[in-house]
Amino acid sequence: MENIDIQANINAALNSLEGIQRAEADAALLQKIEARIAANREGRQVQQVQIRRLAIRLAAAAAVMLVLNFVVWLNVSKHRQNDTFQQFSETYFGSQLNY
Amino acid sequence: MTNSAEGIAISFQDCFDAHKDRVFNTALSMLQNWEEAEEVTQDVFLAVYEALASFRGQAALTTWLYRITVNKVLDRLKARKAQKRAGFTISLWKQKGAEETVFEIPDFLHPGVLLEQQESSKILFKAIAQLPENQQSAFVMAKVEQLSYAEIAAILNVTVPAVESLLVRAKQKLRELLKNFYENR
């Protein structure tokens, strides 16, 4: 008897979804989604601005490095042209080379 | 569906109006939680908004929407399980909380169930929540959304016999769970 009851309950539970109607979404859902779309778009714009700023800073830093390298290279090559043993001796030994 | 901004907006609106209840109902039946189902519906339509322009109609729009919904719901269920696992670990450290039933499934009443079947459906939904993910998805789509096996197969990206097999196993498991429930009541 108990078994029959249990089987009846199981069948009733399994058949309980017959004739089920679709649950309806909240009417304000579209507004919420639109708000999230707008927020996402804003967030993406802010991100793009931040990335652009970072790129400009990196480019500026790279340009400064390039200029500094160029200045150093110019100085080195100028010294190479002008430096003679005599000048070197004067600079570092305070006297001319005496062969 | 056009690529112009206005075209996408109109298409999105149409898509939302036509499918919102379908997406929400699937999410609600699987998650059994009103707030989470709303959040998932929002997530689904956000994903749709992003991808609608690139949707080329390889699959039917409905199939595509159901697929996104099922994936989002499964992500949510995984996150929920991970959260419960973390909660359980914490409760083991706190001796006081260890007695709390972390895995208890709350009662869920689907608003579309007929009045005379509400009590039985609460028990059935509890059992559905304990099914493996793929069986749960197939069962909800077949019984709540009343989709055909072919449609379910397309959504889950499996064959029709695989869907049949999933549903047979789901029903067996549900019978087992319901039997345990009624015997121990």
pLDDT in tens, chain B (185 residues): 444 444 454 578 888 999 999 999 999 999 999 999 999 999 999 999 988 777 766 678 899 999 999 999 999 999 988 887 777 777 776 655 444 444 467 889 999 999 999 999 999 999 999 999 999 999 999 999 999 999 999 999 999 999 999 999 999 999 999 999 998 87
Q: How far is it, in rounded angstroms, from Cα B71 to Cα B76?
A: 9
Asked if A68 is an interface residue toward chain B (Cβ–Cβ < 8 A), one would say: no
Q: How far is it, in rounded angstroms, from Cα A19 to Cα B23?
A: 19
Among A62, A4, A16, CA closest to B179 = A4
Q: How far is it, in rounded angstroms, from Cα A22 to Cα B20?
A: 11
Q: How far is it, in rounded angstroms, from Cα A23 to Cα A37?
A: 24
Length of chain A: 99
Q: How far is it, in rounded angstroms, from Cα B146 to Cα A20?
A: 9
Identity of the residue in B41, B171, B182 whose CB atom sits nearest the CB atom of A29:
B41
How would you label B116-146 residue by residue, b for 16+ Cβ within 10 Å and e otherwise?
Answer: ebeebbbbbbbbbbebeebbbbbbbbbbbbe
Tokens 């009662």 locate to: B107
pTM, whole model, 2 decimals?
0.74
Among B177, B106, B169, B102, CA closest to B138 = B169
| First CA to last CA distance, chain B | 55
pLDDT tens track for A5-15: 899 999 999 99
Chain A and chain B share a number of CB contacts under 8 A equal to 94
Q: Are B1 and B55 in contact (CB under 8 A)?
A: yes
Look up the ipTM and state it.
0.79
- The residue type found at B88 is F
Positive or negative torsion for Cα B136, A29, B114, B118? positive
Q: Which residues of B are less than 8 Å from A9 in CB distance? A: 120, 178, 182
Identity of the residue in A10, A15, A21 whose CB atom sits nearest the CB atom of B182:
A10
Give the chain A residue nearest B22 (alpha carbons): A22
A27–chain B nearest CA distance, Å: 10
